[in-house]
Amino acid sequence: MDPIGRLISWFTKFPGVGNKSARRMVFFLLKQDTSMLREFGQSIASLKDDLHTCEECGNISDSNPCPICRDPLRDRSTLCVVENIDDLVSFEQAGIYSGLYHVLGGRVSPFEDEDLSQENLDFLREHIESLNTREVIVATNPRMEGDLTYFTLLEFLREMGGPSRLKISRLAFGLPIGGSIEFADRMTLHTALESRVEASDEASWS
Ligand SMILES: [Zn+2]
């Protein structure tokens, strides 16, 4: 395959990029000068070399602990538990939350044969214990997998701390059921967080 065709086919591997968009990107790159292209290529080549998983929260950044965990201005008594890094980034970009995060790195999804491992749960327990957390906000997505993940966490957290010591709350969803944190706008996320509710055994999707 020629260099242009090869690059087009690389871009079509990106989520949401079809052949037409991929062609536009390649023709955009063709118009740039060589130094920009080298820099771009270098950024991609070294992407994983410069990144570390935060051993406290599971976030990925260029330092360990990550800048969020190191930030002295953040409220260290509140922990927002998210399913993955995309969700953390959504909250951060919305600028609506000043506590710390915990990235689960897993979820409960019987259809895709996924479950939270003991390792996932131990990592969360260590984080809560080291911070002496007062409130855990479970920010799983408003869909069936998110609910199943929430129930597993709820049981785990109740066993761990008991409701008197550890407050457990959950996002109140103005989000459409079946929607996701990743694609929610700032206002929706803000409302979901501000009107969060004390943990209960009710599902959001039923
Ligand atoms: Zn961190």
**Domains of the chain, residue spans:** 3-45, 52-198
Give the mean model confidence (pLDDT) for residues 159-164.
Answer: 65
- Is the per-residue pLDDT at 55 higher than 60? yes
Distance CA 153, CA 57 (A): 16
Average per-residue pLDDT in the chain?
89
- Is the per-residue pLDDT at 206 higher than 50? no
Place of tokens 């949401």: 16
Distance CA 46, CA 40 (A): 10
Query: Which class does domain 52-198 fall in?
Result: alpha beta
Question: How many angstroms does the Cα of residue 111 sit away from the middle of ligand 1?
Answer: 30
| 3-state per-residue secondary structure call for 102-154 | EECCCCCEHHHCECCCHHHHHHHHHHHHHHCCCEEEEECCCCHHHHHHHHHHH
Fold held by 3-45: Helicase, Ruva Protein; domain 3 (1.10.8)
Question: How many angstroms does the Cα of residue 57 sit away from the middle of ligand 1?
Answer: 4
pLDDT tens string 66-120: 999 999 999 999 999 999 999 999 999 999 999 999 999 888 988 888 888 899 9
Question: How many angstroms does the Cα of residue 27 sit away from the middle of ligand 1?
Answer: 38
Contact 180, 152 (CB under 8 A): no
Question: How many angstroms does the Cα of residue 102 sit away from the middle of ligand 1?
Answer: 8
pLDDT tens string 111-146: 888 888 899 999 999 999 999 899 999 999 888 888
